[in-house]
Amino acid sequence: MLTVATAALWADDLRIARAADHFDPPARTDPLVNSTPDAAADIADVYVWHTTDSLVIAVTFAGPQVNTLPAIYDRDVLYTINISNAGSPTDPEIQIRWRFGKDGTNAGVQVTGLPDGGPPLEGPVEQTLTRGAIQVRAGLYDDPFFFDLQGFRETRSTGTLSFRSDRNFFAGQNDTANVVVPDTIKVDLTRPAGFPNGRRLTDSVIDLELAYLFLDVAKQGVNVLTNLPLGPQANDVPFRANFPYLAPPQGNPPGLTPGGTNFNFRTDAPSAYVQVDRMGNPAVATAVIGSSAKTAYNDDSPAIDGTLKYVPEIGNTLTALTNALADDFTRLGLTLCAKGA
């Protein structure tokens, strides 16, 4: 079956959908739920930030995985980044897509829809592909997400804040990823990079998102939880200062030498694929979309989100979490932004 994984970036002067989405939807991608998970179509994270003169998009997927395994390059999966910077924010004007192919044992990547209007950009993975100012590099990298997954699960099940800053589930593990500098997309460089104006690799996005969801950040500031700290505040290995920015893979995985020239990329139209996964704000698809709605949520699109279909689901979950966590936040001397029901 041909499958598609979709990331949505509403980039109206960089209004961007951020994501932390490993193993979601569980029925399709979580090995604890599905004995044959579709790992290749499981988007892990989306990072989007601007440098002094360009936009950088990094999409990680097929992870985390132990650091002895190779990258996952499935030629039956189509990855799409939807970008809107005009008109309706849920109507993409730019759709950057990529897929993988093989030349013998060598893997290659083909990227289409780049905003310069040129032909597909293709070549071996683990090699930087360029055209003008455009840069693309697919390969295996250290998983850049730092997060106490055990603490998150305990918090949800017990209603007590259980995060630890010295516990990072993703440490020492790897992801497959594609990093793109698309060159011609409009961004507002006067606004600071970083969550919620995009997402940098170094952003402690879960602590920031929890503050936005539950606390009065006008009084306490957006960094109130990162200053505690609530969860881990840095990756376990340093990121690169320059493209492709992601840290090299950990361990000794095979398949890091680029090669091949005649890759067998599929030519199927996007309409031939079945959507498996899509992105949302951190803590949305994973934390506030209930188990019974996760698959349907990942089948839908930003246009459906615009109809407010999932607002009751999100509202009910946030109310329950507010009721459960209010005493913990109060004990820390923090002010909630809303009252529970």
pLDDT of 188: 67
* 318 located within any domain: yes
Higher pLDDT, 198 or 330: 330
* 338 located within any domain: no
Question: What is the percent of the chain with per-residue pLDDT over 70, rounded to a whole number?
Answer: 89
pLDDT of 54: 85
Closest CA to 107 of 126, 131, 120, 121: 126
C-alpha 332: how far from chain center: 30
Per-residue pLDDT at 190 exceeds 50 = yes
pLDDT of 3: 57
For the chain, report the end-to-end CA distance as a whole number of angstroms.
Answer: 45
Higher pLDDT, 33 or 112: 112
> Rounded CA gap, 289 and 281, in Å?
11
Per-residue pLDDT at 340 exceeds 70 = no
- Concatenating the DSSP letter of every residue in 120-151 gives PEEEETTS-EEETTEEEEEEEEE------HHH
pLDDT of 291: 80
> Rounded CA gap, 327 and 6, in Å?
38
339 band by pLDDT with thresholds 50, 70 and 90: low
The mean-pLDDT minimum among 200-209, 273-282, 289-298 falls in: 273-282
As a residue count, the chain comes to 341
Residue 208 backbone class (left: φ over 0; alpha: ψ -120 to 50; beta: rest): alpha
20 band by pLDDT with thresholds 50, 70 and 90: low
* 336 located within any domain: no
* 339 located within any domain: no
C-alpha 307: how far from chain center: 23
305 band by pLDDT with thresholds 50, 70 and 90: confident
Per-residue pLDDT at 19 exceeds 50 = no
Residue 262 backbone class (left: φ over 0; alpha: ψ -120 to 50; beta: rest): beta
pLDDT of 35: 82
* 138 located within any domain: yes
* Mean of per-residue pLDDT scores for the chain: 86
* 340 located within any domain: no
Per-residue pLDDT at 132 exceeds 60 = yes
The Cβ-side half-sphere exposure at 162, using a 13 Å CA radius, reads 13
> Rounded CA gap, 179 and 47, in Å?
9
pLDDT of 321: 86
The domain total for the chain is 1
Residue 159 backbone class (left: φ over 0; alpha: ψ -120 to 50; beta: rest): left
Tokens standing for residue 18: 């951020």
Per-residue pLDDT at 12 exceeds 50 = no
> Rounded CA gap, 246 and 60, in Å?
10
Per-residue pLDDT at 338 exceeds 70 = no
185 band by pLDDT with thresholds 50, 70 and 90: low
The mean-pLDDT minimum among 76-90, 129-143, 150-164, 171-185 falls in: 76-90
**How buried is residue 307: exposed, middle or buried, by Cβ count under 10 Å (0-12/13-18/19+)?**
exposed
Q: What are phi and psi of 53, to 5 degrees?
A: -145, 10
Per-residue pLDDT at 244 exceeds 70 = yes
Q: Which amino acid is at 17?
A: A
* 337 located within any domain: no
Domain extent at residue 39: 3-331
Per-residue pLDDT at 221 exceeds 50 = yes
pLDDT of 66: 94
* 264 located within any domain: yes
Per-residue pLDDT at 178 exceeds 80 = yes
Q: What are phi and psi of 174, to 5 degrees?
A: -120, 160
170 band by pLDDT with thresholds 50, 70 and 90: very high
